[in-house]
Structure 1
Amino acid sequence: MTPRLRALATASAISAAVTAGYLTARHSLRAELATVRHAATHDPLTGVHNRAGLFAVADSFITTAHTANRPVAVVLIDLVGFKKVNDTHGHLAGDHILTTVANRLTGIAGPACLAARLGGDEFVVIITGPARGHDDAGTWLAGWLTHTHTRLTTPVTYDDRPLAVGATLGAVLADPSEPAAVWLHRADLAMYAARARRWSTAVFTETADTPADSRPIDRPRDLARPTSPLAAAPTTWRAA
């Protein structure tokens, strides 16, 4: 090989190595950015969306469902008796219940849904129903809530022992006329109404006078919940 050809071959090899290194670094950076984005929008324990991840996609999800002429509901799930599990069986048992509930929610709602853990023992799922004209949206939602409550409250096995799982569900039929945060707030109000009346589920219906017993008075930790200001707009309810 002549010196000129040798030089050209060397230059070509160097160029190929630089290009390969650039592509590898670019791929690595993309993977790292994807990991960072996922961590910023998903709950590290359960793998479902966190609050930020939910609100990043919820509005477009609701709009898309209505464009497809399908009803969409925002459902807030608050576990009952979770603190007792932590205190009695330890935090690993509590974590097992949280991951089981998250898996049950995603399994029940299917791929065409958004599931999120808002923090602590509080979850939310945004679901779509059948195309309008096949079933009444209210009937569909009531049936879904009943089925979901039954599935969620099936005892969880941990360390060869069954652990009870309690849950209260509040729901609202949503549409693009309001942002998702508003619908979540109304679902939370429905959850409070269900808890006050000792129902397992409730659906937000319309603005009206709030019965005095629909507001919580015995759960101080709820005062800090961002989805449930106690000075919320008055509402009426119906059992699901």
Structure 2
Amino acid sequence: MTPRIRILATASAISAAATAGYFTARHSLRAELSTVRHAATHDPLTGICNRAGLTAAADTLIRTAHTAGRPVAVVLVDLVGFKKVNDTHGHDAGDHILATVAHRLTGIAGPAGIAARLGGDEFAVITTGPATRRDDAEPWLADWLTHIHTRLTTPVTYHARPLAVGATLGAALADPGHPATAWLHRADLAMYAARAHRRTTAVFTNTTNTPATTTADRPRDLARPTSPLAAAPTTRRAA
């Protein structure tokens, strides 16, 4: 091999190595950025969206469903008796319940919906319903909440022992007229109205701006302190 050919071969090898290094570094950077983005929008314990992930995706979901003529339900879930589980059975048992509830909510949300853990023992679901008319949507949502409550409150098995799961649900029907945070606020008002009336679920009705409570009383939660917001008039309009 002549010196010139040797130099050219060396230069080619260096160039190839540099190109390979560039693509490797770019791939590594993309993977790292993807990991960071996922961590910023997902709950590390349950793997579902966190509040940031929910609000980032919710507006598009609501707008797309509204265009297709499908109602969108925004549901807040507050677990009942969760602190007692932690105190009695330990935090590992509590984490198992949180992960199980997250799994159940993911199934309830379906592939087109979003399930999220907002923090502590509070969760949210945003998903679409089968109704195509507004007057069909509110009855559907009230019935659907009862179904969700039944699924969520099925006892969770931990170390061969059934652990009770309680929940309060508040919901609102959403449309693109307001951001997702406004509908979450209305669902929050409905949830506190349900708690104030010792109920399991409540729907924030847009026609009257009054949460209408549904389903039976929850005796396990009669002693639970209510939020000051629960004592406010239920006709309070959401921001």
Interval containing the TM-score (normalised by the shorter chain): 0.7 to 0.9
Q: Which runs of 4+ in 1 moved over 4 A?
A: 228-233
Q: CA deviation at 1:231?
A: 6.4
Q: CA deviation at 1:145?
A: 1.0
- Distance in 2, matches of 1:139 and 1:107, equals 22
Report the counterpart of residue 214 of structure 1 in structure 2: none
- Distance in 2, matches of 1:233 and 1:14, equals 72
Sort the Cα spacing of 1:219 and 1:98 in 2 relative to 1 into closer, same or farther, 3 A: same
- Distance in 1, matches of 2:202 and 2:211, equals 16
- Distance in 1, matches of 2:130 and 2:67, equals 13
Aligned 1:65-104 pairs, distance under 5 A: 65-104=65-104
Q: Structure 2: 5+ residue runs without aligned partners?
A: 213-222
* Residue pair 1:209, 1:235 contacting (<8 A) in 2 also: no
Query: TM-score under structure 1 normalisation?
Result: 0.86
Matched, 1:10 2:16: no
Report the counterpart of residue 207 of structure 1 in structure 2: 209
Sort the Cα spacing of 1:198 and 1:231 in 2 relative to 1 into closer, same or farther, 3 A: closer
What RMSD in Å do the two structures reach over aligned CA positions? 2.5
Report the counterpart of residue 235 of structure 2 in structure 1: 234
Q: CA deviation at 1:202?
A: 0.8
Q: How many residues align?
A: 225
Q: Secondary structure at the match of 1:115?
A: strand
CA offset digits 1:82-117 (Å, max 9, x no partner): 011011111110110000000000012211101111
Aligned 1:45-60 pairs, distance under 5 A: 45-60=45-60
Sort the Cα spacing of 1:233 and 1:182 in 2 relative to 1 into closer, same or farther, 3 A: farther
Q: CA deviation at 1:164?
A: 0.1
Q: CA deviation at 1:219?
A: 3.3
Matched, 1:35 2:35: yes
Query: TM-score under structure 2 normalisation?
Result: 0.87
Report the counterpart of residue 108 of structure 2 in structure 1: 108
- Distance in 1, matches of 2:130 and 2:151, equals 20
* Residue pair 1:77, 1:168 contacting (<8 A) in 2 also: yes
Q: Structure 1: 5+ residue runs without aligned partners?
A: 211-216
Sort the Cα spacing of 1:32 and 1:48 in 2 relative to 1 into closer, same or farther, 3 A: same
